[in-house]
Amino acid sequence: MLASMTGFGSAQATVASIGRISVEIRSVNHKFLEVVTHLPEGFLSLEENIKKAIEAKLKRGRVTCAVNIAEPQAGKVFINERLIKDYILALKKMQRRFKVDDGLSLETLIHLPGALSLTENNITGVRLWPRIKSLLALALEELRRTRLKEGVALGVYLKNRTGFLKASLEAVKKRFRKVIKAKAAAIATDEERSAFLKETDISEEIERLAFHIRNFLNKLSHQGPIGKELDFIAQEMQREANTMGAKSCDAFISARVIRLKSEVEKIREQVQNIE
């Protein structure tokens, strides 16, 4: 079953003495799997666990996971006394050197980079991970369902477009047989006839495009991530259609090839969102 790379999932729970915890996951199309996390301050130690859990379920897409805690237990304030002492010595040296009389205030010191910081509360993060993990699993399952639901719609769309592609190709094939025979018969010499056929014969392109169409339809029924394979097949279909257009010797065939190329473009556009 096809899966889209676009989806959303969420889960919430209330934990005593902690507050309300919510997990939200969004995904959009991307060439590879990219996971971005947004965590409360002091919970960065959970980032690796969250990424591993997501990577175990998804193969492609740009995934954003946000964990929110209504009343998170904040980390402790850390005063970097050694750094502040170095700041004071450096600032006093500057005062003497440049003859600046401004005094050092506490407000000035606490705004200096690294003077104050919040230490990560690893104990809280570790203690909450089992609950967050279960919420993450629920959100991932909802995300998976929405991606599969959109994947079903994409599959129907692609089958319809491929049907139009087959019909146009069949029309080209029939027309080509008729046109090439008539035009070749009207050529006086074997040498000219041979040169004409070499420049305008699209029978091989027709057969290769028909093969790619069959292969594409076959892949649509496969399980697992197949977006990259479908995109490659669509590129090959586009290549054959372009060659047919360049070699066409008939207005009807040229018009049909334009329709072929248009259908392939529509297919390629939608394939970009398949996992």
Q: What is the residue type of 44?
A: L
**Domain that residue 251 falls in:** 149-271
Same domain, 28 and 49: yes
State the pLDDT at residue 103.
Answer: 72
Interval 132-137 mean pLDDT: 96
CATH code for the domain of 44: 3.30.230
Q: Please check whether residue 1 lies inside any domain of the structure.
A: no
Which of 129, 147, 165 is a domain's end point? 147
- 183 shares a domain with 128: no
Q: Is 140 found in the same domain as 162? A: no
Q: How confident is the model at residue 75 (pLDDT cuts 50, 70, 90)?
A: low
Does 204 share its domain with 257?
yes
Q: Is residue 240 part of a domain?
A: yes
Shared-domain flag, residues 186 and 256: yes
Per-residue confidence band for 143, with pLDDT thresholds at 50, 70 and 90: very high
Q: Are 238 and 261 in contact (CB under 8 A)?
A: yes
What does the CA dihedral 182, 186, 189, 190 come to, rounded to 10 degrees? 0
The residue-averaged pLDDT of 73-98 equals: 79
Closest C-alpha among 275, 190, 187 to residue 230: 275
* pLDDT surpasses 60 at 72: no
The string of pLDDT tens digits covering residues 214-236 is 999 999 988 889 999 999 999 99
Same domain for 171 and 264?
yes
Number of domains the chain is built from: 3
pLDDT tens profile 7-21 = 999 999 988 777 889
